Structure 1
Amino acid sequence: MSRYAIVCATFYRDLADRLIASATAAFEEAGAEVDVFEVPGAYELPMAAAYAVDSERYDGVACLGAVIRGETTHYDYVCGEAARGIMDVQLSTGIPCAFGVLTVENMEQALARAGGDKRDQGRHAAEAVLALAALSQQLGTPE
């Protein structure tokens, strides 16, 4: 049976819970086992993804969280570095790591994308990981 990890930034706890629930549901609907790991914020997601991949227990990692724009440039640094770091982990290891981080202007936008309708970032991240893992198997790429 396939096993996947979810690493989630919990800075916005309500959003994190929604993202985790929808990603977990997508993995379980695909017949996979899933483990959830929490980190304080989105900036920590790349390291958490690297830890999960390095454990050699997972076929992929869905990285979830939310960053809501504030009054300073902090938003830009956190979003950019989280995205780059997650991409670096998957490209350097060959293990799919999805960027399921909401990068939004306000809480209303975040809630609209945190589960329950067609803009469900948690589910979409899990589905991306599943699709890449299947493609890797189909093409016989080395891990």
Structure 2
Amino acid sequence: MATSLKNLSDYSSANITNISSRKFAIIVSEWNTEVTEALYQGAYQTLLKEGAVVENIIRKNVPGSYELSLAAQWMAQQTDIEAVICLGCVIQGETKHFDFICNAVAYGLTEVSLKYNKPVIFGVLTPNNQEQAMDRAGGKHGNKGDEAAITAIKMLGF
């Protein structure tokens, strides 16, 4: 569903599992920092709101979205990490670079999730411009970080 038709911060509280003893990794791309910091705040605050303990939320930064896959693998291989939330923003440009990065990250995160049998959440915005990114990082369409955190929680309760 297009985010223009749904607020990313709205979610059903059905299937919300107790996460007070669960450990999460949040990996944040440093590229498009204004956007990714807002995504991080959304994910972090949502985890806390739903019962996560501060000490059980580990943050790691990577230079860009492409690096999310390897960092996710490093975190997922740790047996105490139960879910990995990956946050990034790749804004459409004038070249095909956008397509290559987005496809590589989506594929890489899927592979890590399947390899380690853990939720590895794709919280990467792929907007056409900065305004669309901000609209989805706490703006008029909610916060993709909120959605990513809830997705991780719901997958842990599956």
Count residues with an aligned counterpart: 135
The worse-fitting range, judged by mean Cα deviation, of 114-123 and 66-75 is 114-123
Q: Distance in 2 between matches of 1:117 and 1:4?
A: 27
Is residue 67–residue 103 contact of structure 1 (8 Å, CA) maintained in 2? yes
The two structures, once aligned, show a CA RMSD in angstroms of 1.1
Counterparts in 2 of 1:24-35, with a 5 A limit?
24-32=44-52, 33-35=56-58
- Give the secondary-structure state (helix, strand or coil) at the position aligned to 1:130: helix
| In the alignment, structure 1 residue 75 sits paired with structure 2 residue 123 | no
**TM-score, normalised via structure 1 length:** 0.91
List, as ranges, runs of 4+ consecutive aligned residues in structure 1 with deviation greater than 4 Å. Answer: none
The residue that corresponds to 1:7 in the other structure is: 27
Higher RCO by CA contacts (8 Å cutoff, separation 6 or greater): 2
- Give the secondary-structure state (helix, strand or coil) at the position aligned to 2:108: helix
Identity across matched positions, percent = 35
Q: Which has the higher helix share?
A: 1
The residue that corresponds to 1:46 in the other structure is: 69
Gaps of 5+ in 2: 1-20
| In the alignment, structure 1 residue 133 sits paired with structure 2 residue 156 | yes
Give how far 1:116 is off: 4.9
1:98 to 115, 121, 139: 121
Gaps of 5+ in 1: 136-143
The worse-fitting range, judged by mean Cα deviation, of 25-34 and 101-110 is 25-34
Give how far 1:118 is off: 4.6
Residues 28-55 of structure 1 deviation map (CA, whole Å, 9 limit, x = unaligned): 1121231111001110001111000112
**TM-score, normalised via structure 2 length:** 0.82
